[in-house]
Amino acid sequence: MPGPRQGNRRADRDTLQAKPKPKPKQKPQQRPRQTKPERKEPEEEADLSDEDPSAIKLSTPIPLSLQQLLLDVFKTALLNSSPGADGSEREFESLDIKSLIQTIKSHLYQRDFDSAFTEAGEDHLRAYALRWSASRALGYAGLFKGVLSWMRRDAEGSDSNGTRVVCLGGGAGAEIVALAAAWRDLDNGVDSLSGQAEGLSLEDKEGEAEAEKPSSPSSNRNLAIAAADIADWSSVVERLAATLTSPDVPAPSTSKHKAPLVPAGDNVDVTFHRADLLGLPEKELKDVVLGGETSHSSLLVTLMFTLNELFTTSMPKTTAFMLRLTEILKPGAILLVVDSPGSYSTLKMGKPGPDGEQQERNYPMKFLLDHTLISVAKGQWEQVYSQDSRWWRREAARLRYEVGEGAGLEDMRFQVHIYRRI
């Protein structure tokens, strides 16, 4: 590699050979001070949802103390091993966390997803969840809070039988814990409003018109989470699900949000289905999405950093899968798609040209998604929110997450699109 340019060497040589006559000395002009240009990050599209009170608001994160509890759930659930069959206990901390993460990174870099997930052992899957799922869960929680809050407002006045969320490709646990945190934050808001309303009715001593007490939110507190993934994340999901309701997760005495993450008054049910989404028979797909005989008033289906990988695996199969999903979902169901932004979610397809050479075309994931839902399944979906580039940034200085070398928290840049079945 050539070194840094040292100036015009030919000009320097000519100057030595024939020096020009010296010019009269002039007072040097003061050059304006130049400041180092600031590093510009990728632009983020403006979120105009605050201008519309009925719009989906994705800009409100969960409280910092609840974020810390979310991280502590991951640490408590996955860092230490449970007792073995012989009564012994292996400490996950004694394993080489750094080495596990480096192995996973190597597989991901080579796009060897079978080695990274499908064929991976439990230690590698737990290491992945500690390294990546916890960080993503922090970013997901604010998104889920905004979407679930909007769904609740949209369903006001109708009979409620709880909410079901289906996380396609969500076996690594980020969606599960993020949903639990968002659900608790929303219910805390409901309880606060209920208490204020009851207080007002008690203080109304004149009694001209007794304030009507708000209806009990218990019917709205049923949350069913179903995660489906091609890899066997069952052990990770079981650990996280058990820890969601455990009061043993440590928390600072001054924290406003203490364990368990899911309070006793809330009914949060978590299930895991190991399934190849693109090859799943329609009856089994219907059971995963709808939950068998149990009927829920609200249904949210998520594809978090999953759809682009499905399209990369097979565009025809993924298109067919999305159309089958369309047939299964009833009007009112919500589809949330989150993935890497820009060129990171672009599918490259090649075909022979007239001269026999391979011609390559790029298809953005968003184009394929809209083509499938809006064009092919015409009249069955409406897009209610779309943003091509968005940032979630962590509170690095205020959150504690010490689970091993190489397992830190990261910011997250993503695109987000929301559709409603009509």
Q: What are the pLDDT digits (tens) for 104-161?
A: 999 999 989 999 999 999 999 999 999 999 999 999 999 999 999 999 998 876 666 8
Site of tokens 């090859």: 279
Pair of tokens at residue 146: 């905004």
In whole angstroms, give the CA distance from residue 72 to residue 110. 31
Domain extents in the chain: 56-80+93-194+218-421
- DSSP for residue 295: -
In whole angstroms, give the CA distance from residue 61 to residue 53. 17
Across 127-131, 140-144, 343-347, 354-358, least confident range: 354-358
Q: Give me the pLDDT at residue 96, please.
A: 79
Pair of tokens at residue 226: 């179903």
DSSP symbols for 148-182? HHHHHHHTTTS----EEEEEET-TTSHHHHHHHHH
With beta carbons less than 8 A apart as the criterion, state whether 221 and 161 touch. no
Band the pLDDT of 6: cuts 50, 70, 90. Answer: very low
Q: Count the neighbouring beta carbons within 10 Å of the beta carbon of residue 237.
A: 24
Strands 222-229 and 163-168: parallel
Q: What is the pLDDT of residues 283-338, one digit of tens each?
A: 999 999 999 777 788 999 999 999 999 999 999 999 999 999 999 999 999 999 99
Q: Give me the pLDDT at residue 45, please.
A: 54
Q: Select from 3.40.50.150, 3.40.50.300, 3.40.50.450, 3.20.20.70 the CATH code of 56-80+93-194+218-421.
A: 3.40.50.150
What is the reported pTM?
Answer: 0.81
Band the pLDDT of 386: cuts 50, 70, 90. Answer: very high
Q: Give me the pLDDT at residue 357, please.
A: 73
